[in-house]
Chains A and B, each alone.
Chain A
Amino acid sequence: MKFSIKVTLKKDVLDPQGKVVQQTLQNMGMDTLKTLRQGKYFEIDINENDEVKATNKIELMCSKLLVNLIIENYEISKI
């Protein structure tokens, strides 16, 4: 069973990398670009047949290691 995890910075957390990428795109002439925030993406293949069980395990992976909950949000989707 495959899942994807999207990790994004929380709204109030400064994202200097995203800001530089944004400025670069704007300098390249993308003048309608309003804001850009940078995040992380994981794809996980897990040996489980039960979706609920699998999702619980992915949740655990997120909260224990993949995501720093002080500064990041995450979103799990089945793929």
Chain B
Amino acid sequence: MNSSVIVFPGSNCDRDIAVALEKLQFKNKMVWHKDASLPKSDLIVIPGGFSYGDYLRSGAIAGKSNILNEVIKAANNGCLILGICNGFQILTETGLLKGVLLRNKNLKFLGKDIHVKVINIENKFCNKYKKNQILKLNIAHNEGNYFTDNDHLKELEDKNLIPFKYCDENGNINQENNPNGSLNNIAGVFNDKKNILGMMPHPERMVDKIISNNDGVNLFTSLLN
């Protein structure tokens, strides 16, 4: 499977995701944001970081870059798109995903391991997980508080477009284990066709037992499935 990782000034998880993809047998290419075209890609990843220093709003400037026009075209043609952390913020700024990531409710930058529950496994990204499986993943963000209007929130729930929700280690989903104030404990969302996934936790940091755990591996192997 061919993957591309888009690199912006200020991206800082681009190497991590490339290592994870290559470890799991993707043929990966790095793509600079000023490039005018994309290599042949089955999967495009928009990595975490602080593109353009989070100027204006997180992801706002990167969302208008040259290469994003190509990413939008590819996404509309059904290419798989994964936005992690700042990548999720960029996807919402382009409109590929609805909603917005607001400042964390407690105003603090959060860098820690948290738990999420896998809510929906009937999609390209999560089919190797078990339904309601609890994953320990890492978050590192200042703006991860997912917000959208009531109609869209209802649509997300009704159409099962929320693959991951924050929970405690036993899988309880409530405000106490909502790290950033996200509506309904949302940690990630799909577009309608489920070919675009945006998520705040970092699965690429969880692909090696030596430094963390393997809870992120199945997200990538699902895509190969």
Contact = CB atoms under 8 A, between A and B. Distances in A.
A19 to B, nearest CB: 9
A29 interface: no
A7 B99 CA distance: 18
Interface stretch (B102-110, B122-130, B195-203): B102-110
Contacts of A64: 64
A66 B55 CA distance: 11
Majority secondary structure, A binding face: helix
Interface string B127-150: 000000000000000000101110
A77 to B, nearest CB: 20
A17 B107 contact: yes
Interface residues on chain A, size class: 10 to 19
B93 A68 contact: yes
Contacts of B103: 16-17
Contacts of B64: 64-65
Interface in A37-77: 64-66, 68, 70-71
B113 to A, nearest CB: 23
A68 B56 CA distance: 10
Contacts of B57: 68
The 6 closest A-B pairs by CB, nearest first: A16-B107, A70-B100, A71-B100, A16-B103, A68-B100, A68-B57
Given A13-B147, A14-B105, A14-B147, 6 more contacts: A14-B102, A14-B181, A16-B105, A16-B107, A17-B103, A68-B60
19 contacts: A13-B147, A14-B145, A14-B181, A16-B103, A16-B105, A16-B107, A17-B103, A17-B107, A20-B107, A64-B64, A65-B60, A68-B93, A70-B98, A70-B99, A70-B100, A70-B148, A70-B149, A71-B100, A71-B147
